[in-house]
Amino acid sequence: MILEKFIDELPIPKIIKPLNKVNGNPYYEVVMEEVDQKLHRDLPETKIWGYQGTYPGPTFEVIKGCPIYVKWINDLPVNHHLFPVDRTIHGTEYPNSKVRTVAHLHGGLVSHGSDGYPEAWFTNSYYKVGPDFKKKVYRYTNNQPASCLWYHDNAIGITRLNVYAGLLGCYIIRDEAEAALELPKGSYEVPLLIQDKTINTNGSMYYPTVPKPTISDVFPSIVPEFFGDTILVNGKVWPYFNVEPRLYRFRIINGSNARFYNMSFSTTSKKSLSWFQIGTDGGLLENPKHLVELLLSPGERADVLVDFSGFEKEDIVLINNAATPFPMGATPNPDTTGQIIKFKVGYRVNDCRNNEVPAKLVEVERLDPQCATRTRDLTLNETTDEFGRPKLLLTNQVWDDPITENPLLNSTEIWNFINLTSNTQPIHLHLVQFQILDRRPFDVEYYNSTGEIKYIGPAQVPDSNERGFKDTVRVNPNSVTRIITKFNGFTGIFPWNCQILELEDHEMMRPLKVVKELCTAEDNCEQ
């Protein structure tokens, strides 16, 4: 169903308020609920799953260094999922536990017990809990720079379905360095949480049940990647947003299951509209980066400034030309998935403060490759499962295979992602923020026959807007992407995964274990 675009105004998720204090720190409760929500003027209400009954969930706003406590409560239907659950996928074998949830703070420096580990799931009233369930109340340290994180469901085997159902929201950390920059704030600072969906004429959300091509007779069956035909921002289909002709700050989150967005502005006057990226996944950049296009894979965020002055009375559309799958797939339909949101520029500015793009932002510590004590070669592989369906893996191992990545606490490591698949994979590490060192093309055929890397071109430095802290990196096909990170903060097991949620659910996820000291026995030492 093709819906008329730019009919509904962009909703701004509410800031959630703490209920009270625990140990002197703010304490929140967040209830996951199934509710009916209007996604577009011309659609009947849609059954969604929302945190605090809204999709997206409320926004957390917290201060660096001030921890908070959050109790996550599953008040969803006991055993009836919004979408068919493929029972051949790992983690789905538990009886009477179709609606398993666990909230993960993506990008957050948190302990294992508060991470939202995929096997720490729980059902309504904690009636059933996963093998790794530890506690109901999570502690978020917020011990990291001002940044825009996001929280979303991460239950093993059904993350794609739970996030698609609406279980996601923004999490904003503030600090003094950011405040000193006098960036646009209040109604001039706007989160844009982007998802794609396919919506049936009766208002219900569509999610496929059969793989393409149909080799197996598994039903319902996981698809390799899901792409919707409709774009939503902050829970509305192709919304519009009224802006004043001045500077705005947008916190853009790609919360889609599999769709990449390569975004630029289309103006009615054909005058080009400049924008500046000031922050990455993990915080502010050293200085603003002038952009024509902004590419975001699932899980990535961008903190950007857009100056609408000089565009009085214009309609400006944020457009998208990223292929699905990325980068060699089909281009989006310019009339549908090629458009995201319309900005309607007014002619009056109500508040002229915080209206300039700062020349400098913050100091960004450079992680030094000389300090790395270990370098790991980690492959991204394409295989098939026992039903003939594509199954992508990390290091050629599945989630349940023994742990092989066991960095020492406080050590620095370089991870080389060797992409043997045909698409760009957004690779995400829990717990840490990292930096991208470079990407270098190599001969995949030669690697497949010899197991050795033969580079076929020079190493490319990361894009100017990638030179900050990241927790999700685009690993391009035929390339080795190198990242560097310090495993600070906590010991314990954390996932690293492909952020294309269908692939993550289908084994493109591995545990890493931060250890106090390396054991002499192979890999697995209990702490």
Query: For binding to Cu ion (CB under 5 A), which residues are involved?
Result: 106, 430
What 3-state class would DSSP assign to 472? strand
Q: Buried b vs exposed e over 248-259: b needs ≥16 C-beta within 10 Å?
A: bbbbbbbbbbbb
| 134 or 185: CB nearest Cu ion | 134
Shortest distance, position 418 Cβ to Cu ion, whole Å: 22
Shortest distance, position 153 Cβ to Cu ion, whole Å: 11
Sign of the four-CA dihedral 95, 98, 102, 106: positive
Q: Which residue is nearest to Cu ion (CB)?
A: 106
Residue type, 120: A
| 58 or 495: CB nearest Cu ion | 495
Nearest C-alpha neighbor of 377 from the set 428, 430, 452: 452
Q: How far apart are the C-alpha atoms of 99 and 127, rounded to whole Å?
A: 11
| 98 or 106: CB nearest Cu ion | 106
Shortest distance, position 476 Cβ to Cu ion, whole Å: 21
**Strand 390-394, strand 412-419: pairing:** unpaired
| 30 or 110: CB nearest Cu ion | 110
Q: SS3 for 126-177, per residue?
A: HCCECCCCCCCEEEECCCCCCEEEEEEECCCCCHHHHHHHCCEEEEEEECHH
Shortest distance, position 77 Cβ to Cu ion, whole Å: 26
What 3-state class would DSSP assign to 177? helix
Shortest distance, position 150 Cβ to Cu ion, whole Å: 9
Q: Are the CB atoms for 118 and 158 separated by under 8 Å?
A: no
| 430 or 467: CB nearest Cu ion | 430
Residue 92, strand partner residues: none
| 168 or 480: CB nearest Cu ion | 168
What 3-state class would DSSP assign to 446? helix
Q: How far apart are the C-alpha atoms of 503 and 222, rounded to whole Å?
A: 9
Shortest distance, position 429 Cβ to Cu ion, whole Å: 8
| 88 or 485: CB nearest Cu ion | 485
Structure tokens at 291: 């952009």
Shortest distance, position 112 Cβ to Cu ion, whole Å: 13
Q: How far apart are the C-alpha atoms of 214 and 206, rounded to whole Å?
A: 19
Shortest distance, position 216 Cβ to Cu ion, whole Å: 30
| 128 or 513: CB nearest Cu ion | 513
